[in-house]
């Protein structure tokens, strides 16, 4: 460890083939991990191994290969369940990611539970994927969507959260970690308050699951959505983790094979949970890759992952704040490895182009959080987000490229 | 091996200058033609208003926000077409479009394009072509009186 809290990144980086690539003769500085992460050899090998040795359709073949494919798929389910301390393996429904998981909750639980005149609560910190499904639900059911305000430094406004709960909402949805600002919300406390008001709690875990130790039973949420591709696993992997009693009571979401028990001409009965919610051939490769990614992260330890990212974020905030004209958004503490910033009048897209020229990949835009951007009174921000393979050199490259952008745009003070 | 694109070719002084002080950045009350341009992924937005009389663009104003490329492209476009016949604006649209769509070694003809040739540097930055072309496609929509907002973001970017 070169500095307190940092991982042995030289060793970690060796596991990620893409990081050996050069961009315009420079090393690839990948700082867009909140969008998606790179994949280690171990995950790629697990997927290859699955296709080399195990591939068959799951839950239907009588032959040995199909039994082994089913075992691999169900073992991955168990791995996800242990990783987030789910209530049971059948509490884990595999999905394409967080977005599909939240749409499942809105489309199944929401359609059954929310009626005309009811209220659904979301927050201004939410990603569009934890907003649009609720907008669609409320529009379809004639319900009211109530958005909880944020504080100027990008935390959920707890007094407004309390005010929203006075409406006795049926559903309260919020993120555990903000993708745009890195804010870590007091999810267990929010969950407790929402339950006391009689609501069911939906937590968007897309940005928390990769970066800190998650325990859904300790959070005591009802639904928890996660994406694999943001935690070293393949795109198209993800899960809805839900209290089994709720899943039992919910109507199906998609219809098709696998999710049925008995089928007559004009009706059918449903398979047990979680299969009731997994219509069609699942993405077994993604599940196997997700399990391998969890193994990789657990070998490091989620506590050390969190410590590493927070150390990098502190360093990045320190370096960027030292550049005259740079504004860093988000709270001073309770934040994950995400740093959103702007530089004077330089538009974030121009900033991203100039950074890219030095091989530094950052996101520029509204980060799928337009209501939040409106409240911060910005059209867009640049965002650097860190993961296990980022190091101090990456922060140096980021800060150096930002200074270069200032020179091009005449931001550097005379 | 391609030659490294130079940032100074993209952010030429005239582009930086027009971004800092955009010309014709104003509303045009009583405009005869108007259109909206919107690149939602990017967040670039432009509202374009024109006063067209007898086939001539008598006045033009734009508003909106976006990156330096889109703002400078809008500003320089307004200076290029103001006072010109609609047919000439159309010729400029095609010349500008052809320049952006040609490969990096294609010509940026200053004889036709004048100051607009400064956007030739955008070609080396494919992700930014849509920023330069947004105001021009918005102009075209305004002149053709198409009500639907214009976008230059395509799903394959």
- Per residue in B60-91, pLDDT tens? 999 998 999 999 999 999 999 999 999 999 99
Give the pair of three-digit tokens for residue A48.
């290859």
What's the confidence (pLDDT) of residue B1?
A: 35
What's the confidence (pLDDT) of residue A332?
A: 87
Least confident of A27-36, A349-358, B98-107, B120-129: B98-107
Whether residues A109 and A16 fall in one domain = no
Find the catalytic residue in A138, A221, A361, A368. A368
User: Taking 90 as the threshold, does the pLDDT of residue B49 lie above it?
Assistant: yes
Confidence of residue B99 (pLDDT cuts 50, 70, 90): very high
Give dist(CA A67, CA B122) in Å, integer: 55
- As for how many domains chain B has, the answer is 1
Question: Of A243, A267, A298, which residue is a domain's last?
Answer: A298
**Residue B102 belongs to a domain with what CATH number?**
3.90.1010.10
Q: Which domain holds residue A375?
A: 9-30+301-408
Q: Tell me the mean pLDDT in the region A144-159.
A: 97
Chain B residue with CA closest to A409: the answer is: B16
Name the DSSP class of A251.
P
**B56 lies in some domain:** yes
CA distance A271 to chain B (A): 37
Cβ atoms A134, A172 nearer than 8 A: no
Whether residues A266 and A337 fall in one domain = no
Name the DSSP class of A389.
T
Give dist(CA B93, CA A180) in Å, integer: 37
Cβ atoms A201, A216 nearer than 8 A: no
Whether residues A67 and A204 fall in one domain = yes
Give dist(CA B133, CA B130) in Å, integer: 5
A chain contacts of residue B42, beta-carbon cutoff 8 Å: 349, 365, 380
CA distance A346 to chain B (A): 8
Whether residues A245 and A319 fall in one domain = no
Name the DSSP class of B150.
B
Strand partners, B38: B45
**A413 lies in some domain:** no
Question: Of A298, A325, A359, which residue is a domain's last?
Answer: A298
Whether residues A120 and A245 fall in one domain = yes
| Cross-chain Cβ contact A365/B4 below 8 Å | no
What residues contact A140, with CB distance under 8 A and at least 6 apart?
A111
Give dist(CA A352, CA A346) in Å, integer: 10
SS in 3 state form for A321-384? HCCCCEEEECCCCCECCEEEEEECCECHHHHHHHHHHCCEECEEECCCCHHHHHHHCCCCEEEE
Spacing of C-alpha A59 from chain mean position: 29
Q: Kindly report, residue by residue over A305-336, the tens digit of the pLDDT.
A: 999 999 999 999 999 999 999 999 999 888 89
pTM: 0.93
**Residue A13 belongs to a domain with what CATH number?**
3.90.1150.10
**A2 lies in some domain:** no
| Cross-chain Cβ contact B11/A409 below 8 Å | yes
Instruction: Look up the ipTM and state it.
Output: 0.87
Antiparallel, parallel or unpaired: β A223-227 and A29-30: unpaired
Chain B residue with CA closest to A373: the answer is: B43
Confidence of residue A200 (pLDDT cuts 50, 70, 90): very high
Whether residues A288 and A363 fall in one domain = no
Q: Tell me the mean pLDDT in the region A192-214.
A: 98
User: Taking 70 as the threshold, does the pLDDT of residue A49 lie above it?
Assistant: yes
Confidence of residue B156 (pLDDT cuts 50, 70, 90): very low
Instruction: Examine the residue annotation and report whether A361 is marked as an active-site residue of this protein.
Output: no
Spacing of C-alpha A162 from chain mean position: 25
**A339 lies in some domain:** yes
Confidence of residue A40 (pLDDT cuts 50, 70, 90): very high
Q: Tell me the mean pLDDT in the region A389-393.
A: 97
User: Taking 50 as the threshold, does the pLDDT of residue A158 lie above it?
Assistant: yes
User: Taking 80 as the threshold, does the pLDDT of residue B29 lie above it?
Assistant: yes
Whether residues A102 and A210 fall in one domain = yes
What's the confidence (pLDDT) of residue A173?
A: 98
Cβ atoms A137, A100 nearer than 8 A: no
**A37 lies in some domain:** no
Whether residues A284 and A353 fall in one domain = no
CA distance B95 to chain A (A): 25
- Tell whether A412 lies on the interface with B, counting CB pairs under 8 A: no
Whether residues A164 and A272 fall in one domain = yes
Count the neighbouring beta carbons within 10 Å of the beta carbon of residue A104.
Answer: 24
Cβ atoms B133, B100 nearer than 8 A: yes
**A414 lies in some domain:** no
What residue has token string 């009048």? A345
Q: Which domain holds residue B97?
A: 7-143
Phi-psi region of A154 (alpha: psi -120 to 50; beta: other; left: phi over 0): left
Question: Of A270, A298, A326, which residue is a domain's last?
Answer: A298
Whether residues A22 and A81 fall in one domain = no
What's the confidence (pLDDT) of residue A60?
A: 79
Q: How far apart are the first and last CA of chain B?
A: 23
Confidence of residue B3 (pLDDT cuts 50, 70, 90): very low
Whether residues A176 and A55 fall in one domain = yes
Phi, psi dihedral angles at A81 (to 5 degrees):
-60, -45
**A90 lies in some domain:** yes
**B155 lies in some domain:** no
CA distances from A313 to A124, A304, A338, A340, B145 (A): 23, 14, 7, 10, 49
- As for how many domains chain A has, the answer is 2
Instruction: Work out the angle between the directed axes of helices B129-143 and B68-81 (0-180°, nearest 10).
Output: 40
Whole-number average pLDDT of chain A: 95
User: Taking 60 as the threshold, does the pLDDT of residue A413 lie above it?
Assistant: no
Q: Tell me the mean pLDDT in the region A2-7.
A: 76
Angle at A347 between CA A346 and CA A351, to 5 degrees: 75
**Residue A266 belongs to a domain with what CATH number?**
3.40.640.10
Instruction: Work out the angle between the directed axes of helices B68-81 and A348-357 (0-180°, nearest 10).
Output: 110
Cβ atoms B96, B76 nearer than 8 A: no
- Tell whether A350 lies on the interface with B, counting CB pairs under 8 A: yes
């Amino acid at each position: 460890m070169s500095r307190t809290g940092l991982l042995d990144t030289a060793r970690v980086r060796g596991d990620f083939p893409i990081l050996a690539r050069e961009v315009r003769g420079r090393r690839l500085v990948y700082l867009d991990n909140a969008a998606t992460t790179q994949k280690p050899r171990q995950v790629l090998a697990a997927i290859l191994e699955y296709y080399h040795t195990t591939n068959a359709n799951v839950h239907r073949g009588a032959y040995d290969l199909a039994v082994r494919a089913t075992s691999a798929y169900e073992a991955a389910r168990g791995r996800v369940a242990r990783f987030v301390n789910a209530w049971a393996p059948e509490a884990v429904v595999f999905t394409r990611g967080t977005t599909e998981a939240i749409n499942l909750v809105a489309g199944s639980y929401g359609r059954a539970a929310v009626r005309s005149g009811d209220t659904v609560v979301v927050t201004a910190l939410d990603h569009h994927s934890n907003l649009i499904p609720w907008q669609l639900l409320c529009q379809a059911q004639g319900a009211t969507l109530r958005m909880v305000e944020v504080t100027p430094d990008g935390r959920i406004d707890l007094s407004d959260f309390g005010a929203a709960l006075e409406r006795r909402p049926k559903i309260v949805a919020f993120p555990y970690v903000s993708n745009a600002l890195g804010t870590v919300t007091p999810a267990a406390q929010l969950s407790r308050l929402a339950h006391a008001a009689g609501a069911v709690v939906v937590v968007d875990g897309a940005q928390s699951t990769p970066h800190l130790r998650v325990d859904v039973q300790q959070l005591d949420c009802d639904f928890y959505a996660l994406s694999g591709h943001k935690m070293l696993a393949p795109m198209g992997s993800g899960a809805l983790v839900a209290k089994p009693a709720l899943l039992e009571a919910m109507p199906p979401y998609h219809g098709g094979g696998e999710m049925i028990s008995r089928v007559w001409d004009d009706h059918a009965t449903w398979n047990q949970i979680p299969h009731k919610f997994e219509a069609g051939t699942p993405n077994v490769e993604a599940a196997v890759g997700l399990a391998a990614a969890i193994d990789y992260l657990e070998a490091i330890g989620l506590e050390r992952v969190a410590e590493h990212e927070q150390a990098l974020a502190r360093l990045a905030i320190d370096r960027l704040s030292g550049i005259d004209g740079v504004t860093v958004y988000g709270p001073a503490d309770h934040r994950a490895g995400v740093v959103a910033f702007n530089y004077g009048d330089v538009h974030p897209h121009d900033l991203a182009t100039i950074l890219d020229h030095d091989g530094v990949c950052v996101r520029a835009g509204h980060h799928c959080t337009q209501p939040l951007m409106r409240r911060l009174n910005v059209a867009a921000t640049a965002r650097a987000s860190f993961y296990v393979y980022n190091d101090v050199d990456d922060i140096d490259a980021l800060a150096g490229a930002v200074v270069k952008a200032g020179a091009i745009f005449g931001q550097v003070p005379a | 091996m391609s030659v490294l694109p130079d940032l100074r070719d993209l952010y030429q002084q005239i582009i930086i200058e027009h971004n800092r002080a955009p010309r014709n950045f104003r509303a045009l009350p009583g405009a005869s033609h108007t259109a909206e341009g919107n690149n939602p992924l990017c967040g670039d937005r432009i509202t374009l208003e024109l006063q067209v009389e007898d086939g001539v663009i008598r006045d033009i104003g734009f508003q909106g926000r976006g990156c330096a490329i889109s703002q400078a492209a809008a500003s320089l476009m307004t200076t290029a077409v103001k006072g010109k016949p609609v047919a000439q604006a159309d010729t400029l649209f095609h010349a500008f479009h052809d320049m952006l769509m040609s490969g990096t070694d294609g010509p940026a003809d200053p004889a036709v394009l004048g100051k607009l040739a400064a956007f030739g540097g955008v070609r080396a930055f494919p992700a930014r072509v849509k920023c330069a072309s947004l105001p021009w496609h918005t102009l075209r929509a305004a002149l053709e009186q198409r009500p639907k907002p214009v976008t230059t973001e395509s799903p394959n970017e």
